[in-house]
Every structure is written in C-alpha cells, then in structure tokens.
Amino acid sequence: MRASTYTILMDVWAFPFGTVILPAPMAYLSAVQKLADNTALFRLMAVAWIVLSTLVLAWPRASDLFVERVIRSIAWLILLKYLFVLCQIGFIR
C-alpha cells in the first residue's frame, strides 16, 4: 500500500471522531467507553490497523521525501501501539 493511500485511510478514520469531539465531548467519551467494553470490536479495529500499517511498511518507499518518512514513522508507531494493545487485552500471549 502506498503511503498516500494510508494517509487517506487515517484521515477518513479520524474525520468522524474529530467532528464529534468538538461539539459533544461527553458523548464522545461515552462512545469510547462503550467501544472499550466491546472487546471483539476493539480487537477487530486493532487487527485492521495492524494489517494496514504492515501493508504500508511492506511497500517499498517511492521516494526519499521527508513526508513519506514521517508517514512510515507514524505507521510504525500505530503498529507498535496496537500490538501493545492486543497484548494488554490478552489477545496475544
């Protein structure tokens, strides 16, 4: 997967959350609590981000631009974050 496609997917994922948190922060917090209680959905989300991050890291770099290096660094951070999350909730032992 190209880094630009990964960036678009991150933006599409973050847009609904960003538009909700500004006008109704308490509704956003209650939705996050419900998501945290639903471990199956949380695991599915974590596995999806691990797969997407792995796909962008497996794709060879198209250029040596600073922006692409930043996106690949973010992909590494997201990959490590969700691997850690899956270890914490007992999905990976």
| Chain segment 49-79, per-residue pLDDT in tens | 999 999 999 988 878 889 888 989 999 999 9
In a domain, 93, yes or no: no
pLDDT tops 70 at residue 93: no
The pLDDT of residue 76 is 94
Helix, strand, coil % over all residues of the chain, rounded to 5: 80, 0, 20
Q: Give residue 17's domain range.
A: 3-88
Q: What percent of the chain clears pLDDT 70, i.e. is strictly above it?
A: 95
pTM, full prediction: 0.74
In a domain, 60, yes or no: yes
pLDDT tops 70 at residue 45: yes
In a domain, 10, yes or no: yes
In a domain, 62, yes or no: yes
How far is it, in rounded angstroms, from Cα 26 to Cα 12?
22
How far is it, in rounded angstroms, from Cα 9 to Cα 49?
10
**pLDDT band at residue 80 using 50, 70 and 90 as cut-offs:** very high
Count: domains in the chain: 1
